[in-house]
Structures are given as C-alpha cells and as structure tokens.
C-alpha cells in the first residue's frame, strides 16, 4: 500500500466524493470532506418523516459490479445487499388499460408485445447484439479512460471500429424508429434517454448501449434497506479510516494559490488548506462560480446543454396499493409532441409524463404497517426556462389526481406525508446549476474529451469528480469517475 500521508480536501459529499475518499484513504491519504448540506450523499440522499423513509433522488441502479470493484480496490468485502428488479419496470400509456411488464427475458417480453410488434424477439436480439458490440468496443476507449487533452481523446475514439460510425449520425429515436414499428415499443426502449435527463430526440443513438446494460448486461437493482444504505455503509468504512466530514460548510472562493492551490475559503470566510483538492460540486459551474473562469461564465454555462430538472413529490400513504410495482412509468400518448416542449416550456406541463417508485413494494421497512411510500419524478425544464415555481402545488395536484385515476386508489384522501421539491429546491440544496437534475447533458460535444476534465486546467493539485466531469451521470458512471480521478491523484502525487 502506498502511504503518501498527503492531505486531500474533497469539496462536496456526493457518491463521487465518498467513493474517491474511500479509494484514497485506503491508500494512506489523509482525507477530509466539506459538505454544504447537513447530511452526506448529495443527490443520493434520504428524507424521513412520520415513520416513512424516502430515497430523495436515485431509486435504482445498473452496473452494480462497479461497487464490487470499488470495495475490492479498497480491500473491503462489499457490504451492500442488492435486490434484482424483475420485471425491470412497468409502463402504462394514458388511455390504454394495458400495463406492460418490462422483462429482461426477451421471450417473456415478446409476449407483452405480441399484438403490437410482429417478430419483436428477432428485432430486439439484433438491436441488442449491436448495442452490446458497441458497448464492449468503446467502454475502455471512452468511458473508463482519462484524457489529457482533446487530441488524446480523438486518438482514442479513432480506434473504435468504423462499423459503429452510423451510431454517431443519428439520434436514439431514429435508430429505434428504424428497428421497431410499434410506437409503444419505441417509447419503452427510449426511456433510457430519460435516465440521462434527456429525450431520445436529443440523445445520440450511441446510448442504445444503455438498453444493452438494462436488458442483457446487469439489469436494474435496488438496495436492501433503501438506496441511502450505500451512503451509510460508505460512511461507516470512511469512519474506520479516519476520514472527517464537516457539514454545513460551503466553499465560495479560492484562497491562496501559487501555481498550486493552497486553500479555499468557505462562506464564513474560514480558510481550508490541503496538499490536494478534489471538487465534487458540479465540475462546470464550480469553475465559473467559484474559480471565476471565463470559459465557464454565466453566459457560457447557460449556453451549454443541461439535463432536465427534477420535479419530485414524496407521499406517505395510508393503505395498501396493489396496482403499483417498485418502478412504474406513467406516460401519455403524444410522446414526440410532449418531448419537443418539455425542455424549454415556461409553464407546467399539462398531462405530465412521470415516473413512480414505491420502494415499500420491495422493502416493508420504508413505510409504517399498512402504509406505502411513493416517490414521483416528473422531468421539467430547468430554471433558465421556468424560474418561478410558486405553482408547484398545482403540478403536484395534477399528478396525484392523474395517478389516483390510473391506479384506482384515492391518494389525496390518504396522504399522511407530502413533500414537494421543485427545481429551485434542488438547485439551492445541492448547488445543481439551474436546477438541472443530472448535470451536463451527454451530446457528442459534451462527452469524453469535450466534457469538463477531471483535472484542472490551471492548478496541478486540483481535480474533479462527479456527474458533470468524465465519464458522465448516474451512480455507476460516478463510481467510474472516482476511479479515474484516483488514478490521476496516485499517478501525479
Ligand atoms: C431526482 C433524481 C433521480 C435520480 N435517479 C437516479 C437513479 O435512479 N439511478 C442512478 O444511477 N442515478 C440517478 N440519479 C443521478 C445520480 O443521483 C447522480 O448522478 C449522482 O448521485 C451524482 O453524484 P455526484 O458525485 O456528482 O455528487 P452530487 O450528488 O452532485 O453531490 C455533490 C455534493 O456537493 C455539495 N456541494 C456542492 N457545492 C458545494 C460547495 N461549494 N461547497 C461544499 N459542498 C458543495 C452538494 O451539496 C452535494 O452534497 C438521479 C438524480 C436525481 C436528481
């Protein structure tokens, strides 16, 4: 074990931070974490009220082997207990009483689509074969790799087999449109774009690889005890390694620097020194708002592509709900019309499309006896387009009414707990730029060598980890981000 004894200060305590802290502390670095909120985890967080426990953001994950690797790299037995989701999720379209169960077993899934898509099985196998090849041909060249500059990135992607070129030329919807005939099947396969905080019309078709990860590679998993168990177990390991976490402390400016950063200052003017710094706050907006970099000025940040903002509702409900599964999508019947407006509209969406998670379906400890916990996520425009959320109750009310009708359960009269977070809440709680839920989007000009680097342009002891640096957003990507930044620190310091 390399024991550098060097001090590392991490700004923010999201998953990227906690995983990097574990990797570095297990190699002998002295790690301290500063967090603006009163609780660790960032978006991977928890809300408790009246005996109900809600996961605040993430409700499931793919590529769970990234956790195995994290703990293995640190010499720890993986303490997480995962629950495999089968079916992956359920989908309902407005005005259609059929509920689609999305199974990973393509034979079973074919039965769901029997009346909709002739030869679904053959088409899906061909589609997933291609996505699988693309995933394995690119993962080590694009996703799991540090790039020192744009040239380095271009060299790396130019070694991807040319047969994958067509993926670069179309969006995900076009690829699905060329593969399937049924609108419902296309919409269901395109939901992976939603996990990137986007729509399939704006998402490059390379992300069909996410269909491969959901259907074939590793599927989707929840965590026994709720997603926040991840944070609790990481905190327990960090505690054993002497990592200190200081809460309610927000870094607002750079202190002394002289080629290297010597210190950052918090909002109360206190100075924080270290040998090395890792920023887990958004890698783009931190460069603009704290480091005052011209390339990340407010104007430039606003011109970047950001993922959709979350509008989330947490309901503690009295009674047993039989028509909801762990993961459920409630969609409308004008997908392209809705998706076309959702990014830039300044009014709340009418007939919203939304996702519902009821973790009490798989884990009875999340709600009191005879009750259910419901988490609703409706993607909405970020604060550049709609910056006043005084009407949050109206949108929440509309969704609750719509959901009640679609599951034949009167939610409104059985509410014990109700909490709403609109994009302005997400922005102020975790410094999410303009309330964007998943950080910078994943268009071809904002990934790989084009994404804000995990190594600072100016200071050699300043690094970044998390959703808006490489490789991208979502829990598995953020775990890979922690591996990449740790590699940099170990190689360079
Ligand atoms: C509603 C929602 C649902 C999601 N669902 C899923 C899902 O089901 N599956 C999945 O894989 N992913 C999901 N995601 C994405 C996932 O949550 C993120 O990609 C991941 O958690 C981001 O981790 P991060 O390391 O970037 O840190 P973040 O979660 O962004 O944490 C950064 C931390 O830094 C702190 N901070 C910021 N600025 C400062 C400062 N100046 N000083 C001190 N502290 C600061 C913040 O308070 C925060 O705690 C979801 C996200 C949202 C919003």
For residue 361, the tally of other CB atoms under 10 A from its CB is 18
The residue to mutate among 17, 58, 263, having the most atoms of ligand 1 within 8 angstroms of its beta carbon, is 58
Least Cα distance to 331 among 235, 399, 419 occurs for 399
Which ligand 1 atom minimizes the distance to the CA of 44? 21
What is the per-residue pLDDT for 12? 98
Distances (CA, A) of 222 to 73, 77, 116, 254, 416: 23, 19, 30, 39, 25
Fold of 7-45+57-82+225-302+442-492: FAD/NAD(P)-binding domain (3.50.50)
- The residue nearest atom 35 of ligand 1, judged by CA position, is 12
Q: How far apart are CA 134 and CA 149, in angstroms?
A: 24
The residue to mutate among 218, 245, 281, having the most atoms of ligand 1 within 8 angstroms of its beta carbon, is 281
Task: State the distance from the centre of ligand 1 to the C-alpha of 181, rounded, in angstroms.
Answer: 37
Q: Going by CATH, does the domain composed of 122-214 fall within 3.30.70?
A: no
Task: State the distance from the centre of ligand 1 to the C-alpha of 491, rounded, in angstroms.
Answer: 27
- The residue nearest atom 16 of ligand 1, judged by CA position, is 474
For residue 176, the tally of other CB atoms under 10 A from its CB is 22
The crossing angle, in degrees rounded to 10, of helices 15-25 and 65-73 is 30
Question: DSSP label at 307?
Answer: P
Question: What are the boundaries of each domain within the chain?
Answer: 7-45+57-82+225-302+442-492, 122-214
Task: State the distance from the centre of ligand 1 to the C-alpha of 468, rounded, in angstroms.
Answer: 10
Which ligand 1 atom minimizes the distance to the CA of 476? 11
Domains 7-45+57-82+225-302+442-492 and 122-214 share a fold: no
Complete DSSP assignment for 107-168: HHHHHHTTTT-TTHHHHHHHHHHHHHHHHHHHIIIIIT---SSHHHHHHHHHTS-GGGHHHH
Ligand 1 pocket: which residues have CB below 6 Å?
Answer: 11-17, 34-37, 42-44, 57-61, 250-251, 280-281, 310, 312, 377, 430-431, 437-438, 466-467, 473-475, 478
- The residue nearest atom 2 of ligand 1, judged by CA position, is 57
pLDDT by 10s per residue, the chain, length 493: 445 689 999 999 999 999 999 999 999 999 999 999 999 999 999 999 999 999 999 999 999 999 999 999 999 999 999 999 999 999 999 999 899 999 999 999 999 998 999 999 999 999 999 999 999 999 999 999 999 999 999 999 999 998 888 888 899 999 999 999 999 999 999 999 988 999 999 999 999 999 999 999 999 999 999 999 999 999 999 999 999 999 999 999 999 999 899 999 999 999 999 999 999 999 999 999 999 999 999 999 999 999 999 999 999 999 999 999 999 999 998 999 999 888 888 888 888 999 999 999 988 899 999 999 999 999 999 999 999 999 999 999 999 999 999 999 999 999 999 999 999 999 999 999 999 999 999 999 999 999 999 999 999 999 999 999 999 999 999 999 999 999 999 998 8
**Contact indicator for 28, 242 with CB cutoff of 8 Å:** no
% helix, strand, coil for the chain, step of 5: 40, 20, 40
Question: DSSP label at 208?
Answer: G
Pairing status of strand 462-464 against strand 276-279? parallel
Give me the residues paired with residue 309 across strands: 380
Which ligand 1 atom minimizes the distance to the CA of 59? 8
């Amino acid at each position: 074990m390399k024991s550098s004894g060097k001090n590392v200060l991490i700004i923010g305590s999201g998953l990227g931070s906690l995983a990097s802290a574990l990797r570095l502390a297990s190699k002998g670095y002295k790690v301290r974490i500063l967090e603006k909120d009163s609780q660790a985890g960032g978006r991977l967080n928890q809300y408790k009220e009246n005996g109900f426990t809600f996961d605040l953001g993430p409700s499931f994950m793919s590529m769970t082997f990234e956790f195995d690797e994290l703990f293995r790299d640190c010499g720890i037995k993986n303490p997480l207990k995962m629950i495999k989701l089968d079916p992956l999720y359920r989908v309902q379209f407005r005005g259609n009483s059929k509920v689609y169960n999305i199974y990973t077993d393509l034979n079973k899934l074919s039965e769901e689509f029997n009346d909709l898509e002739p030869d679904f099985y053959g088409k899906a196998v061909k589609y997933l074969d291609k996505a699988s090849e693309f995933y394995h041909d690119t993962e080590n060249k694009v996703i799991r790799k540090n790039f020192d500059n744009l040239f380095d990135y271009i060299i790396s992607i130019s070694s991807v087999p040319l047969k994958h070129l067509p993926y670069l030329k179309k969006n995900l919807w076009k690829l699905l449109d060329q593969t399937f005939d049924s609108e419902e099947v296309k919409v269901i396969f395109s939901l992976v774009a939603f996990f990137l905080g986007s729509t399939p019309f704006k998402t490059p078709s390379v992300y069909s690889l996410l269909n491969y990860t959901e259907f074939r590679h590793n599927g989707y998993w929840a965590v026994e005890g709720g997603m926040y168990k991840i944070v609790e177990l990481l905190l327990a390991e960090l505690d054993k390694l002497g990592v200190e976490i200081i809460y309610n402390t927000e870094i607002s400016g750079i202190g002394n620097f002289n080629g290297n950063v010597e210190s950052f200052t918090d909002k109360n003017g206190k100075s924080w020194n270290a040998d090395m710094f890792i920023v887990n706050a958004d890698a783009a907006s931190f460069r603009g708002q704290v480091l005052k970099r011209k390339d990340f000025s407010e104007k430039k940040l606003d011109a970047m592509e950001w993922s959709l903002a979350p509008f989330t509702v947490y309901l503690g409900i009295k009674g047993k709900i039989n028509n909801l599964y762990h993961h459920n999508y409630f969609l409308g019947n004008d997908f392209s019309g809705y998706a076309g407006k959702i990014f830039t509209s300044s009014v709340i969406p009418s007939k919203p499309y939304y996702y519902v998670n009821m973790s009490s379906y798989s884990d009875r400890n999340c709600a009191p006896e005879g009750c259910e916990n419901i988490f609703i996520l409706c993607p909405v425009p970020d604060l550049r387009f709609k910056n006043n959320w005084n009407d949050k109750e109206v949108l929440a009310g509309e969704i609750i009414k719509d959901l009640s009708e679609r599951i034949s359960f009167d939610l409104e009269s059985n509410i014990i707990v109700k909490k709403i977070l609109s994009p302005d809440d997400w922005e102020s709680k975790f410094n999410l730029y303009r309330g964007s839920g998943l950080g910078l989007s994943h268009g071809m000009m904002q990934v790989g060598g084009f994404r804000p680097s995990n190594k600072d342009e100016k200071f050699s002891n300043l690094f970044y980890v998390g959703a808006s640096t490489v490789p991208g957003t979502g829990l598995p990507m953020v775990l890979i981000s922690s591996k990449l930044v740790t590699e940099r620190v170990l190689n360079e310091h």
